[in-house]
Structure 1
Amino acid sequence: MDSSIMRVSIFLSVFALMAALELWLPARKAPLPRFQRWRANLGILVIGALAARVVLPATLVGVALWAEESGVGVLHWLGAPVVVSVILSILLLDLAIYWQHRLFHRVPILWRLHKVHHADSHVDSTTGLRFHPVEIVLSLFIKGGVILLVGAPALAVIIFEVALNAFSLFNHTNIRLPLKWDDRLAYLVITQRLHRIHHSQHARETNTNFGFSVSWWDRLFNSYRPRARQSDEELDIGLREFPATSSNARLSRLLTMPFTRS
């Protein structure tokens, strides 16, 4: 099966599962109608995907294949075994995304792009797809640079991209695990409750729990926060300067948000 078709199939399957769980066991009630939010969030996803395809038609897998054919990257220079190369590449790509995430919170011009994601007044599976197209393109270049530097095999890139999309859907899903299970699972991955802390309106909480998949990078680099000041049921989500209004949930608003004053 073509890798692109496989990725889309897995993405749609995970999205359908997460959306079904939200309908069955919702953790929080959205302040805006689902259709209004989903229309904008899915719309910006499509635009971001088209922008990525225009900027890099060969895709990240194509970058990895070129690096392999040209012998570019540390792992190719070292002649590392395939299994070692795949595992190390996945770990290093995930670490790069962790630091990319922190960078987009730290640098003001990058935060203007990333706040489109955080301005969502509710966190659900579509929030995990809501990124400004310019941020998508910049992330593409960052990941491409890491792939070339590391010499990541194409297989590692496919696994990483599939896992990244799946985890982004998973930890944004509007469900709540029993706290005891959540705490146990949080030793390994970023759970829905942990990621809602990251979407808190309180800056000290927003700048924590940066991981998209595993929680150990946050633990290692001192950005892990297991509890918010408020309960998960009452946690203030989003950004104060972008209240939950229909005008702030329009696709045109999301696209222009980084370039206009709140």
Structure 2
Amino acid sequence: MDWNNFILENEVPIRLGFFFGILLLVALWEILTPRRLLSQPKILRWSHNLGLTFLNSLLLRLLFPAAAVGVAVFAGQQGWGLFNYYHLPLALSAIVSVILLDGIIYLQHVMVHAIPLLWRLHRVHHADLDFDVTTGARFHPLEIIFSMLIKFAAILLLGPPVLAVVIFEILLNATSMFNHGNLRLPVKVDRVLRLFVVTPDMHRVHHSIEDDETNSNFGFNLPWWDRLFGTYKAQPDAGHEGMTIGIDRFRDPTKVERLPGMLLLPFSGNSTGYTINRRNWNKRPKA
């Protein structure tokens, strides 16, 4: 069987199957063991957050029909990228590729917190007043396009196997929904699990209203990058039940929890409030 052709022909149903399956699983888990009480009506947030997700999916399909998998196939045909120059066993090259791609996504995440223009886009993700599975898929379309271009460049540089790109895309989607889940895990389970994957309690710190906490725990999938680069914070200062989610100056639900407001948010206010490159961090900064 030609795995590249099989993956290309079935990539969309494979990814959609995993997306909806994991979305449903985490959503049911949130109902059974919620970590926090939500401050906004779930049906309102879900309809607008998922509406933004579907808009992004349509936009990407129109702009980049072949998506990341198509770029991986192209890189392989041209012999471009590290793993097309140095041939390793498929399993080894796939594992190393997934790890390296995840490291690049970590660096990209740090970058959108460091550059004011990019923070304008990324704060759509952070402006959600609650934190649940749909937050993990809530991004501004311009950030989604930027992220895809970064991913294309990484694939052309690395030349990963097509299988690795599919696994990475599925993992990134799955772990993003899991670690944004409003899930209560036993403390001992969380302590062990966060050694291998970013957990909801670990990533929730990143969505704190406090800027020093927002600028920590950048990992989406693997938790090692934050420890390696000194951006790890174990727990929020106010505790998970007491912490405030969101951005200080964007607290109006009619704007930050509605699709039109999300699309316009990058063009509102200034862009320096939470960026990493400020000389001083203050509690409750201006956005």
Query: Structure 2: which 5+ runs fail to align?
Result: 1-5, 270-286
Shift of 1:244: 4.9
CA distance in 1, matches of 2:42, 2:198: 24
CA contact (8 A) 2:255 2:262 kept: no
Alignment-derived partner of residue 39 in structure 1? 47
Alignment-derived partner of residue 235 in structure 2? 227
Shift of 1:80: 2.7
Alignment-derived partner of residue 7 in structure 1? 15
SS, match of residue 253 in structure 2: coil
CA distance in 1, matches of 2:26, 2:231: 27
CA distance in 2, matches of 1:179, 1:80: 39
Alignment-derived partner of residue 185 in structure 1? 193
Alignment-derived partner of residue 254 in structure 2? 246
Shift of 1:188: 1.5
Give the AA of the match of 2:258.
R
2:124 to 116, 127, 132: 116
Alignment-derived partner of residue 165 in structure 2? 157
CA distance in 2, matches of 1:142, 1:61: 14
CA contact (8 A) 2:254 2:261 kept: no
Alignment-derived partner of residue 19 in structure 1? 27
When normalised by structure 2's length, the TM-score is: 0.89
1:158-184 alpha-carbon deviations (Å, 9 max, x no partner): 000000000000000101112222112
CA distance in 2, matches of 1:176, 1:95: 27
Give the AA of the match of 1:48.
N
CA distance in 2, matches of 1:172, 1:199: 9
**The 10-residue stretch of structure 1 (88-97 or 242-251) with the greater mean CA deviation from structure 2:** 242-251
CA distance in 2, matches of 1:122, 1:104: 21
Give the AA of the match of 2:208.
S
CA distance in 2, matches of 1:3, 1:46: 17
**The 10-residue stretch of structure 1 (124-133 or 180-189) with the greater mean CA deviation from structure 2:** 180-189
Identity across aligned pairs (percent)? 44
CA distance in 1, matches of 2:202, 2:96: 26
Matches within 5 A, 1:1-262: 2-261=10-269
Aligned pairs, how many? 262
SS, match of residue 246 in structure 1: helix
Give the AA of the match of 2:189.
W
Give the AA of the match of 1:14.
I
Change (3 A) 1:185 1:244: farther
Shift of 1:57: 1.1
CA distance in 2, matches of 1:3, 1:58: 10
CA distance in 1, matches of 2:148, 2:256: 27
1:10-54 alpha-carbon deviations (Å, 9 max, x no partner): 111100000001111111111110111111100110111112112
